[in-house]
Structure 1
Amino acid sequence: MKDDMTTLREAFGPDPVPPPDAHDRARAALLHRMEGGAPAHHVRHRRRWPLRVALTAAAAAAAVIGVVAVENIGTVDDSGKGYSTVGLPFPKPASAAEVLTNAAWAAKKRPWTDPRPDQFMYNEDRELRNELAYEREHPNGYIIPGHTRTITRQEWKRIDAQVMATNESGKLEVYHQGQGIQWGQLNYDELRKLNTPAKVLAWDKADKNFGVRLDALLGQYVLPPAVEAAFYGALAQGDDVRLNPDAVNIDGRPAIGLGKVLEGYLSQELLFDPQTYRIIGERLVAIADHHDTDEHGNDVFTPKGAVLRQAVYTKAIIVDKVGDTQ
């Protein structure tokens, strides 16, 4: 099996060889991000977080993972202006397609001004994680109620893809293209043209150099309202998105879960507010009991209902510079 760095080199072609210490730092960061934020030296035996899609990096890169976020939660936007949910296409949606149609309708209600190339997409979320000591011993473990912590993550990506920054637990890291680090970022001018479901589906089938799932991309980028709506419309045309029949509670609020079944027992879900149909989070939950084995051959049991990942999306807005959150 090829290692991560070999695969990245083949995908992007040859790059100048970085110094050994830069290579080591980049590899550690890549493993850290791709494995859902666990300490880099605890490499997970199985990848558990399929919603979190890495932005593929070149050989000297520190890859950055975005997460699904929402610009305006509830019925008030960041400017303090309210909006009405009167006119929802489906007041009582009975299928995933109907929920996504409502989500597309709600997305179009967002105020929007096209960003300049020197502005940034800002994403912020709060992820529920196990206590650190337990997480280090059980990096693949499901969330243990009553023994958790909340991690706040912030990410800034400049529209022209020349600057990127992350902040987790108060540690701000700023990266510049061409200074020993490169990362993959989809062309924003190309994204803003995807304003119909048909265009999104055609684009999704085309070669983009690195794969990004449509549902995951919704959290990695701050898209114009018409584009976000088009992505929901494209997802609604798929036959593999299921409406979770069980009530979901996230951050003290009810939510509608839409997901895809993975490995026969996991539901990878986007979460929507049942009143406003704004996206408010994501989770990975077991929908059936499951037995597996770890790298040592030991039995690993995951009970039905266990949550393996949960994140609340708090912001996805355009800002002027790294550090801006409003």
Structure 2
Amino acid sequence: MESGGVATVRAPRKRWVWPLRVALTAAAAAAAVIGVVAVENIGTVDDSGKGYSTVGLPFPKPASAAEVLTNAAWAAAHREWTDPRPDQFMYNEARELRNEKAYERDHPNGYIRIGHTRTITSQQWKRIDAEVMATNESGQLEVFRKGGNVTWGQLNYDELKRLDTPAKVIAWDGLDKAFGVRMDALLGQYVLPPKVEAAFYGALAQGKDVRLNPDAINIDGRPALGLGRVEEGYIAQELLFDPVSYRLIGERMVAIADHHNTDERGNDDFTPKGAILRQVIYTKAIIVDNVGDTQ
């Protein structure tokens, strides 16, 4: 349906802002952005169903967050790509693990109770020229068109296309912008050109205190590599990568220690070690022609 208000997308309670303002050496920048080469052996497939090789990864057995991110940059740079037209759409689809409705209503900030959850599928279409956006959560399609009092925050795609080296990403991150930009949200909610995605990973690889969790589990129970930082002393906020293809597949927040927090009424809000506070899997990120297209 069409909506006449300001377009807003449900925001989670917390999200991690990836720290991009870091020093970058010329050698690291050169290593992080890898040119696209011909595919010789099909090792996995991208969202369009096209295969690409994982042979030649910089680090076949990465032992650190920086090495995983370098592999992710390599994999991103090998995706096939055609620049989209202004009238085409970025289509992003994700599945989020949430508590059952009744519990979520009474405990909106509670951690996820395994065995008492539901999975929400969300879809979003953002036109490249930022003139149209559409969302679909729980089967309700809403289409927003700019004009009058309808607006939303969307980064300029032509500007994003120019961020094809880690140094450019870092410089851009330091600029004033019309609205706040969360780097984890950008990576999960935009469909970026391969060299741009690789440049973001190259910049992240230079960050300090980025933690590698080789035993993260995604929403389907399959293994993932978690890369993140510890916030508030007990929450690891992680981006999730496929351990074979090194593609970004989601994000999560998990407690790495028991934590007691006393609320304003004096109640003890206890979060046990291992509790998941947020878990999202990115299931599709492609360019499509129209709202409603998913292929």
TM-score band, normalised by the shorter chain?
0.7 to 0.9
Q: Which residue identity does 1:313 align to in structure 2?
A: Y
Write the distance in 2 (CA, Å) between the matches of 1:79 and 1:234: 26
2:267 matches 1:304: no
Aligned length: 269
Counterpart in the other structure of 1:271: 240
How far did 1:79 drift?
4.2
Counterpart in the other structure of 1:133: 102
How far did 1:207 drift?
1.1
How far did 1:213 drift?
2.6
2:248 matches 1:282: no
How far did 1:196 drift?
0.3
Counterpart in the other structure of 1:195: 164
Whether the 8 Å CA contact 2:48–2:286 is kept in 1: the answer is no
Counterpart in the other structure of 1:48: 14
Q: Which residue identity does 1:203 align to in structure 2?
A: W
Write the distance in 2 (CA, Å) between the matches of 1:235 and 1:171: 36
Q: Identity over the aligned pairs, expressed in percent? A: 78
Bigger shift: 211-220 or 174-183? 211-220
- Structural mapping, 1:160-199, within 5 Å: 160-199=129-168
Alignment equivalent of 1:152, drawn from 121, 127, 150: 121
How far did 1:250 drift?
3.6
Whether the 8 Å CA contact 1:120–1:318 is kept in 2: the answer is yes
| TM-score, scaled relative to structure 2 | 0.86
Whether the 8 Å CA contact 2:240–2:251 is kept in 1: the answer is yes
- Aligned-residue Cα RMSD (Å) equals 2.0
Counterpart in the other structure of 1:60: none
How far did 1:247 drift?
4.2
How far did 1:133 drift?
0.6
Write the distance in 2 (CA, Å) between the matches of 1:215 and 1:241: 14
Counterpart in the other structure of 1:33: 10
Counterpart in the other structure of 2:74: 105
Partner of 2:45, secondary structure, is coil
Bigger shift: 77-86 or 120-129? 77-86
C-alpha change, 1:238 and 1:48, in structure 2 (3 Å) is same
Write the distance in 2 (CA, Å) between the matches of 1:81 and 1:165: 26
Counterpart in the other structure of 1:206: 175
Write the distance in 2 (CA, Å) between the matches of 1:296 and 1:228: 45
Counterpart in the other structure of 2:262: 293
Q: Which residue identity does 2:135 align to in structure 1?
A: T
Write the distance in 2 (CA, Å) between the matches of 1:316 and 1:299: 40
| TM-score, scaled relative to structure 1 | 0.78
Alignment equivalent of 1:239, drawn from 195, 208, 211: 208
C-alpha change, 1:292 and 1:183, in structure 2 (3 Å) is same
Counterpart in the other structure of 1:56: none
Unaligned runs of 5+ in 1: 1-21, 37-46, 53-73
C-alpha change, 1:266 and 1:102, in structure 2 (3 Å) is same
Counterpart in the other structure of 1:317: 286
Unaligned runs of 5+ in 2: 19-42
Q: Which residue identity does 1:243 align to in structure 2?
A: L
How far did 1:210 drift?
2.0
Counterpart in the other structure of 1:57: none
